[in-house]
């Protein structure tokens, strides 16, 4: 019994090399880059666990080889998984040639199942991942147990159960530690991005501010000129237009400054429905330039808490992107509905779509695939959604189109939403 426990502890310690190595190696970069050194550690662990197996009933040997195989498949790539299994079969063939065929058949089945599960695994939550691990390990335990019973080694079966329990606990701990590690990496990445973003917004704010000073001078001189007596009607008109345009520029800069400064915008109750209608109307001519029809289905009486200019900016950015994604024209649908506690806005285009690689880059400052793009639109938009305490989902299929779904929390005391009705702005279409 003591020997058995000592063996288990030894194996547990060997296995702990896996999360430890993951931590050390992944600190240097993202998941992909950890592939080869991490794989070497897995193979070393595999070698150790097979070389010093746990002995049960004098004739049966067990080890934790399942664990490095599992990690290689699900935390590096199926290819690494197959490689680990080849090493495993070779080692098995070396240490116990008699069992080699059973191992080969067993692990062929396991690798096929792992391969099928590997895509699905990436999308699982932590609990689901643990369930996957248990689900794979359970049949192994049951088959072993049946073999034990067949060979009439009943008394030792309890060791087998102990062994299986400890291997599943060990695997769960490893999954937990690796997941924690990946999570930490993600948070760090976000922090680094936030840093970059902060620097840019400060820079932009200071540039915008600097533009204001010369503008004030120009405005002052124009004002003086306006009072000049011997001006023609035309000249008076030009000066008036110039002053108006300067005021408009000033307004834009104010908006921009309020956008770039994270804490300044004042929040209030904003009619999301009205803002959406306004923005859609405002963007309609822009769409028509490339034959994009903007169709709206907007639920009336949606109110949210936020800064009106920011909310406008958010939808201008998204609609502009959707129009730009359809250079040969198409339909752009903007819809907004009331959900339980949120307003759900969909912006759906039939444009070029976004590939998986690009999807990961979205929202990073200066990331643009357009020749004249700034790559700031989405970054600002995501930041606004964040500040509105909302969230978003991007669904996209290449060459088919993209749908941005944004969920924004409704204004709390929403007595206004008593008789909601549909308002359809697009001509020739009526929904009730």
For position 375 contacting ligand ADP by CB under 6 A, the verdict is yes
Could you tell me the smallest distance in angstroms from the CB atom of residue 258 to ligand ADP? 19
For position 369 contacting ligand ADP by CB under 6 A, the verdict is yes
CB atoms within 10 A of CB 386: 12
Per-residue binding string, ligand ADP, 397-416, x by CB under 6 A, is -----x--------------
DSSP-derived letter for residue 265 is P
For position 360 contacting ligand ADP by CB under 6 A, the verdict is no
33/370 with CB nearer ligand ADP? 370
Could you tell me the smallest distance in angstroms from the CB atom of residue 8 to ligand ADP? 52
Query: Would you say 291 and 329 are in contact if contact means Cβ atoms under 8 Å apart?
Result: yes
For position 291 contacting ligand ADP by CB under 6 A, the verdict is no
Could you tell me the smallest distance in angstroms from the CB atom of residue 358 to Mg ion? 13
Could you tell me the smallest distance in angstroms from the CB atom of residue 31 to ligand ADP? 23
DSSP, collapsed to helix, strand or coil, labels residue 299 as: strand
Distance CA 342, CA 327 (A): 33
Could you tell me the smallest distance in angstroms from the CB atom of residue 360 to ligand ADP? 11
Distance CA 241, CA 264 (A): 31
Per-residue binding string, Mg ion, 302-341, x by CB under 5 A, is -------------------x--------------------
Query: Would you say 392 and 404 are in contact if contact means Cβ atoms under 8 Å apart?
Result: yes
H helices of 227-293, in order, are 233-260, 272-288
When binding is defined by CB under 5 A, the residue of 19, 265, 306, 377 that contacts Mg ion is 377
- List the interface residues with ligand ADP, window 307-336 (CB under 6 A): 317, 321-322, 325
Distance CA 43, CA 52 (A): 14
When binding is defined by CB under 6 A, the residue of 68, 265, 306, 351 that contacts ligand ADP is 351
Per-residue binding string, ligand ADP, 109-138, x by CB under 6 A, is ------------------------------
For position 349 contacting ligand ADP by CB under 6 A, the verdict is yes
Per-residue binding string, ligand ADP, 184-213, x by CB under 6 A, is ------------------------------
Selected range binding ligand ADP among 92-100, 110-118, 176-184, 361-369, rule: CB under 6 A: 361-369
Query: Would you say 15 and 174 are in contact if contact means Cβ atoms under 8 Å apart?
Result: yes
Half-sphere exposure of 198 (CA within 13 A, CB side): 7
Q: Cβ-count burial of 4 within 10 angstroms (0-12 exposed, 13-18 middle, 19+ buried)?
A: middle
Cα–Cα distances in angstroms (integers) from residue 186 to residues 27, 31, 181, 190, 385, in the given order: 11, 10, 9, 6, 20
DSSP, collapsed to helix, strand or coil, labels residue 330 as: strand
Q: Count each helix (H run) and each strand (E run) in the chain, helices first.
A: 13, 10
21/336 with CB nearer ligand ADP? 336
Q: Which residue is nearest to Mg ion (CB)?
A: 377
When binding is defined by CB under 6 A, the residue of 236, 240, 291, 370 that contacts ligand ADP is 370
Q: Which two tokens stand for residue 152?
A: 């009439």
What's phi and psi for 183, nearest 5 deg? -60, -45
Q: Which helix (H) or strand (E) holds 383?
A: helix 377-387
303/392 with CB nearer Mg ion? 392
19/377 with CB nearer Mg ion? 377
Q: Which of 390, 268, 409 has its CA nearest to residue 343?
A: 409
Contact residues toward ligand ADP (CB under 6 A) are 317, 321-322, 325, 349, 351-354, 358, 362, 367-370, 373-379, 402
Contact residues toward Mg ion (CB under 5 A) are 321, 377
């Amino acid at each position: 019994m003591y020997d058995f426990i000592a063996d288990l502890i030894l194996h547990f310690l060997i296995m702990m090399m896996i999360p430890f190595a993951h931590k050390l190696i992944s600190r240097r970069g993202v998941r992909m880059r950890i592939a080869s050194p991490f794989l070497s550690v897995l193979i070393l662990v595999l070698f150790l666990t097979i070389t010093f197996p746990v002995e049960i009933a004098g004739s049966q040997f067990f080890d934790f080889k399942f664990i490095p195989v599992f990690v290689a498949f699900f935390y590096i790539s199926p290819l690494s998984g197959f490689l680990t299994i080849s090493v495993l079969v070779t080692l098995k063939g070396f240490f116990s040639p008699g069992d080699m065929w059973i191992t080969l058949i067993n692990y062929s089945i396991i690798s096929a199942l792992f391969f099928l599960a590997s895509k699905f695994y990436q999308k699982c939550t932590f609990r689901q991942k643990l369930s996957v691990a248990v689900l794979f390990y359970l049949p192994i335990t049951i088959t072993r147990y049946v073999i034990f019973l067949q060979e009439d080694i009943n008394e030792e079966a309890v060791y087998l159960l102990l062994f299986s329990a400890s291997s599943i606990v060990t695997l769960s701990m490893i999954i937990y530690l690796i997941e924690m590690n990946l999570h930490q990496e993600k948070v760090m990445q976000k922090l680094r991005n936030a840093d970059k973003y902060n620097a840019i917004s400060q820079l932009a704010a200071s540039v915008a501010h600097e533009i204001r000073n010369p503008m004030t001078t120009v405005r002052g001189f124009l004002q003086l000129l306006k009072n000049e007596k011997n001006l023609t009607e035309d000249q008076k008109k030009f000066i008036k237009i110039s002053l108006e345009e300067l005021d408009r520029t000033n307004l834009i800069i104010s908006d921009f400054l309020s956008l770039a400064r994270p804490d300044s915008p004042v929040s209030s109750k904003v009619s999301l429905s009205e803002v959406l209608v306004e923005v859609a109307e405002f963007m309609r001519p822009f769409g028509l330039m490339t034959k994009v029809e903007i169709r709206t289905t907007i639920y009336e009486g949606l109110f949210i808490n936020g800064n009106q200019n920011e909310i406008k900016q958010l939808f201008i950015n998204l609609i502009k992107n959707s129009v730009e994604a359809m250079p040969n024209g198409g339909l752009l649908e903007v819809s907004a509905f009331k959900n339980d506690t949120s307003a759900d806005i969909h912006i759906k285009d039939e444009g070029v779509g976004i590939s998986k690689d690009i999807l990961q880059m979205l929202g990073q400052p200066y990331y643009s695939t357009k020749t004249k793009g700034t790559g700031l639109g989405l970054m600002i938009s995501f930041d606004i959604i964040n500040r509105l305490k909302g969230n978003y989902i991007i669904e996209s299929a290449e060459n088919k189109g993209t749908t941005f779904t944004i969920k924004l929390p409704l204004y709390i005391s929403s007595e206004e939403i008593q008789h909601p009705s549909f308002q359809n702005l697009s001509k020739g279409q009526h929904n009730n």
